[in-house]
Amino acid sequence: MELTYRPRRLRRTPALRAMVREHQLAPTDFIYPLFVHEGASNEPIGAMPGAKRWSLEGLVEEVGRAWDLGIRCVVLFPKVADGLKTEDGAECFNEHGLIPRAIRRLKQVHPAMAIMTDVALDPYSCDGHDGLVSAAGVVLNDETVAILCRQAVAQARAGADLIGPSDMMDGRVGAIREALDEQGFEHVGIISYTAKYASAYYGPFREALDSAPRANADKPIPSDKSTYQMDPANGREAILETQLDESEGADILMVKPGLAYLDIIYRLRQESEQPIAAYNVSGEYAMVKAAAERGWIDERAVTLETLLCFKRAGADLILTYHACDAAAWLRQG
């Protein structure tokens, strides 16, 4: 065959492939999500093999392990006791609550580790929604944002480096930015859940935090979060959310879930010069774990390929429960 171009020439050896590789993974690309509870011991999470609800001291050890593997950011999620859950979610801004104490403890032991937090009411609400639910069963926007601002300030005061509003209320990024600045936290960044979809992939996460919507005899509770999280059918809407979050002061933009929404990551990358994060969510993690346990796939190969696909689509950062495993595999080469 008389061919001028033979793309296989540059695929012939490992050295040649490495020379022209367009994207690389590194442990510093990963943000490691960690669940924390008040218990004295670490508890395995049934739907997320390998993941745990960490005690405070267990959390300190796990963050140290992540640091040693080259990971430089963790994000904290609380498993709040039922007795502390209320309709107004007021425990979320308790400066002596679980997350502020966890932040302060981590900053004592691992001061260089960047700490991201979650801003939403669902772990703290007896209704299980990210916002306040009215007597008529409506998730209230502006009233919720006022509480989220107090939550964000409490987390910043404890030492958080990045505030992560995951609630999807309109206008919350700008309100949180203003609240942080007014309290002297201009240096604290906002990593916004810009395009967070009303996805079926979150099931294992809600088991880990016991944060799913709950029935309430006193008022109707929406059974899902589709009135504030985005419709999975929509792509252009993500551009609108991107433009709004940028105008309100978000420092990093996030797409959640990640794997089923690679096209949305790509769209945000084309739209914005801000750093883009992708959340490799609990359902995606659980599917890989389940298939690997049955011997149907190679967990290492599939995980590293998946994470690389996020980078190829345009993500700069990846939130993944596989963070420590992936960092270790990358170190092995």
Catalytic site positions? 196, 256
Q: How far apart are CA 253 and CA 190, in angstroms?
A: 9
Picking from 310, 324, 239, 312, the residue whose alpha carbon sits closest to that of residue 280 is 310
DSSP states of 165-212 as a string? E-S--TTHHHHHHHHHHHTT-TT-EEEEEEEEB--GGGHHHHHHHT-S
Helix (H), strand (E) at residue 329:
helix 323-332
Length of the chain measured in residues: 333
- Look-up: residue for tokens 């979809």? 197
CA 208 from centroid of its chain's CA atoms: 14
Question: Rounded distance, CA 313 to CA 323, Å?
Answer: 19
What is the DSSP pairing of strand 73-78 with strand 114-119?
parallel
Q: Please state at what angle helix 98-109 crosses helix 142-158, rounded to 10 degrees.
A: 30
Percent helix / strand / coil, the chain, rounded to 5? 45, 15, 40
> Quick one: tokens of 34?
């960690």
The C-alpha atoms of residue 321 and residue 157 are separated, in whole angstroms, by: 27
Q: How many other CB atoms sit within 10 Å of the CB of residue 237?
A: 14
Residue 267 belongs to what H/E stretch? helix 262-271
In the numeric block, the tokens 């963790």 are attached to: 74
